[in-house]
Each structure stands twice: as structure tokens, then as C-alpha cells.
Amino acid sequence: MSSEPVNVNDFKELARSALPKMYYDFYAGGAEDEHTLRENIRAFHSITIRPRVLVDVSQIDMSTTILGHRISAPILVAPTSAHMLAFHEGELATARAAAAAQTIMVLSYSSTRSIEEVASSCDAVRFFQLYVFKRRDITALIVQRAERCGYKAIVVTVDTPWLGRREADMKNKMVAYPKKNLEGLMSVEINSEPGVQLRTFAKATVDASLSWKDIEWLRSITSLPILLKGILTREDATKAVEAGVDGILVSNHGGRQLDFTPPTILVLEEVVQAVKGKVPVLLDGGVRRGTDIFKALALGAQAVLTGRAVLFGLSAKGEEGARTVLEMLKNELETTMALSGCPSIRDITRNHVRTQYDKLQAML
């Protein structure tokens, strides 16, 4: 690309040129036919915006709070693994980019920089993402480390009892990357072929028996708020609220787990209605534009998280790239709010969007 990137898709192309194919495919790819991966993005395109005019938009305020923490805009950094494959400073650079954008980064348990290193990289509010391991003692230890290092919430990923089949990784014979947080705690040696090492590792370590009763156990090991990541149905949203969690993240893991799960933006409203405002509902999956963020907020999300957009920025231009991506998304959201007649986040309502379902209803 000869000109400077002006949007996330431009950064995706830069990332494609900057990275070895194996790493690019690991970041960009999804499970099996990648139907959900594509639909996450396409579904945003099926929703139109109903702008209101003659509203005073001379001042736009995108700031909001998540679990009591003020952020500059409702865009968080989703937990993604292995940032050192993108840039030598890895998650340290991402953490600084998130801090510069005055937002929250959720650090992946499978980061290539440790919980402690990221905590001391810069001053910011951060959350920690957790997989529950068969070794519950090690799980508890990791949570304690995150708590001690000042992380403000635990985001428990519940859509990964097994790792999804990522066929690009199989074809590329993707190699395992270091799991910094597990060093000295458990063996990360994997006796399997490149291409399936991550799946083999997940099968050996992640507790596939995890179930609703274990939320109580999670509660017993931390005083931090607990969010569940990977909820896609009203049934599970209701159970999550009953189990006493502090927040829900509507997510299909960016289309990397079960293919043919619905695009997150299309099930957001179902979850929001089931939750009845009892806990915050967040969304990730396919967010590439400020208009996507606006649509998610209109359908009831308190904020969105973005995974690949930040990875593309980091791969293309390191810390500056990750920061630029976050700033671009903020700028696009700001423009969308101004052009839709919404000077603040609370002015964005259900009436500001029209879904395919709304169109069908109107025809009845």
C-alpha cells in the first residue's frame, strides 16, 4: 500500500504484508469454513442507521464507564494471544496503546508477556482473561497474580472446552508460541505435530468439565468482578445472571471456535433482553468500524471489544499501529454520533438502528 492507512481494513492489508503467512493466518483465520468469521462482519452491514437531524452535536462525549471505570470511549481491547508474533514488545506495546487511548485492555492468559510485565508497562486499568485449567490450584494462583498486580476484573472464557479446528493453522503447520504466564507452573512441552499443537495443549490443560456450579468456585478464589466471555443465547445469559456474574460478553471468539454460531451482533438483543439490565452486556466479533460500535450500543451493548483490529495495527506498525487503530475507531464513532444526532453515548437508542428483523416485522 503506497498511502498511509486510513481504516482498519488498510491495516489488515499492511499486516498481511508484514507478517509471515503462518502468523497472519493465525491472527486472521477462523474455524473450519470460516462462516462465522465472515458473518460477524457481514451482519453489521445488514443493519442500517436511522440518523436524527437538527440535534446540537457541537460537543460529542464518547466517554462511558465499565464496572465503574471511566474510559474515553466504549471500545476495549479484547484478549488475544501471542502479541510477540506481531511485534517484539508484544503485549507491553498493546498495553501502552490501550492506555494512550484511555481504554481497558483485557490481557489474555496466553500472552507472550507476563501478567507482571504488562502490569508494570504503564499505569492503566486492565482486566485479565482466564481459561480454567484442570489444575485448579494453578488457575487460582494465576488469578491471585492478576489480582496482586492490580487487574480489575476476571474475564472467564467459557466457549473453549476444546479448541476450535483452525484449518489454516493445520495447513501452515503453525508452531506453538511461549505461554509466559505458565512458566514454572506447568509443562508447556507438547508432543504433537506442528499445526495441532495448540489444540493438543488445550486438550491436555483446559478443564472441559467446567460447568455452572463452578462459578461458585471462581467466586471463592477472587474478590474481583467476574465476567463470562462467550455467551450467545438467552438461556445462558439468564443462567449467568442467576449464577451471580458481574457482566456478560457476547462473543463467538471471533469465529475461531464453533463455526456456524451466529454473528454476535444478531444475538446481542436476545441476550440484552434476557439480562434485563441486571449486569452490563458487552460484545465482540467483527468490529471494524465506528458504525459497528454505534450499532452495538444501539442494540444494548454497554461497550464493544476489538481483537483482530488491534492485532493488525500491532503487526503493521507496532505500538503506534495499535494506538492508531484505536484512535481511528474512536474517530469513526465520534463522526457516526455527530451525523446521527447523538451527542453522548446515552443518546444512542434502539430507534437509531434498523435490523433485518425490524424490516420483516414492519412487513407483517
Ligand X SMILES: CCCCCCC(=O)C(=O)O
Ligand Y SMILES: Cc1cc2nc3c(=O)[nH]c(=O)nc-3n(C[C@H](O)[C@H](O)[C@H](O)COP(=O)(O)O)c2cc1C
Q: Which residue has the cell 439490565?
A: 277
Q: Each residue of 44-74: b (16+ CB within 10 Å) or e? A: bebbeeeeeeeeebeebebebebbeeebbbb
Euclidean distance between CA atoms 19 and 351, whole angstroms:
42
Residue 166 annotated as binding site: yes
Residue 288 annotated as binding site: yes
Determine, following the binding rule CB under 6 A, whether residue 352 of this chain makes contact with ligand X. Answer: no
Is 253 marked active-site? yes
Which sign, positive or negative, has the C-alpha torsion 265, 309, 180, 141?
negative
Q: Each residue of 213-225: b (16+ CB within 10 Å) or e? A: ebbeebeebbebb
Euclidean distance between CA atoms 334 and 343, whole angstroms:
9
Residue 264 annotated as binding site: no
Determine, following the binding rule CB under 6 A, whether residue 71 of this chain makes contact with ligand X. Answer: no
Determine, following the binding rule CB under 6 A, whether residue 27 of this chain makes contact with ligand Y. Answer: yes
Q: Residue 154 corresponds to which amino acid? A: I
Q: Quick one: which of 131, 177, 294, 312 contacts ligand X (CB under 6 A)?
A: 131
Residue 287 annotated as binding site: yes
User: Which of 106, 77, 283 has the alpha carbon at shortest distance from 292?
Assistant: 283
Of 15-23, 140-148, 161-169, 285-293, which segment contacts ligand Y by CB under 6 A?
285-293
Number of residues that bind ligand X (CB under 6 A): 12
Determine, following the binding rule CB under 6 A, whether residue 74 of this chain makes contact with ligand Y. Answer: no
Q: Residue 247 corresponds to which amino acid? A: G
Least separation, in Å, of the C-beta of 339 and ligand Y? 24
Q: Which is nearer to ligand X, 81 or 340 (CB)?
A: 81
Beta strands in the chain (DSSP E): 48-49, 64-66, 69-71, 75-77, 105-107, 126-130, 154-157, 226-231, 247-250, 281-284, 303-306, 353-354
Residue 135 annotated as binding site: no
Q: Quick one: which of 36, 94, 110, 264 contacts ligand X (CB under 6 A)?
A: 110
3-state secondary structure at position 173: coil
Least separation, in Å, of the C-beta of 81 and ligand Y? 4
Number of residues that bind ligand Y (CB under 6 A): 23
Q: Are 313 and 261 in contact (CB under 8 A)?
A: no
3-state secondary structure at position 190: coil
Least separation, in Å, of the C-beta of 243 and ligand X? 22
Pull the grid cell for residue 326: 484505536
Active-site residue among 83, 88, 253, 352?
253
Determine, following the binding rule CB under 6 A, whether residue 256 of this chain makes contact with ligand Y. Answer: yes
Q: Residue 359 corresponds to which amino acid? A: K
Numbers of helices and strands, H then E, in the chain: 14, 12
Pull the grid cell for residue 105: 485492555
Select the binding partner of residue 271 from ligand X, ligand Y, none (C-beta < 5 to 8 A, by kind). none
Rg (alpha carbons) of the chain, rounded to whole number: 20
Q: Residue 105 corresponds to which amino acid? A: M
Of 50-58, 186-194, 247-255, 342-350, which segment contacts ligand Y by CB under 6 A?
247-255
Q: Residue 239 corresponds to which amino acid? A: K
Determine, following the binding rule CB under 6 A, whether residue 254 of this chain makes contact with ligand Y. Answer: yes
Select the binding partner of residue 174 from ligand Y, ligand X, none (C-beta < 5 to 8 A, by kind). none
Residue 244 annotated as binding site: no
Q: Quick one: which of 108, 261, 302, 355 contacts ligand Y (CB under 6 A)?
A: 108
Could you list the residues known to form a binding site, using ranges: 108, 129, 131, 157, 166, 229, 251, 253, 256, 284-288, 307-308
Could you list the residues known to form a binding site for FMN, using ranges: 108, 129, 157, 229, 251, 284-288, 307-308
Interacting residue ranges for ligand X, rule: CB under 6 A: 81, 110, 131, 160, 163, 198, 201-202, 205-206, 253, 256
Catalytic residues: 253
Interacting residue ranges for ligand Y, rule: CB under 6 A: 26-27, 40, 78-81, 108, 110, 129, 157, 229, 251, 253-254, 256, 284-287, 306-308
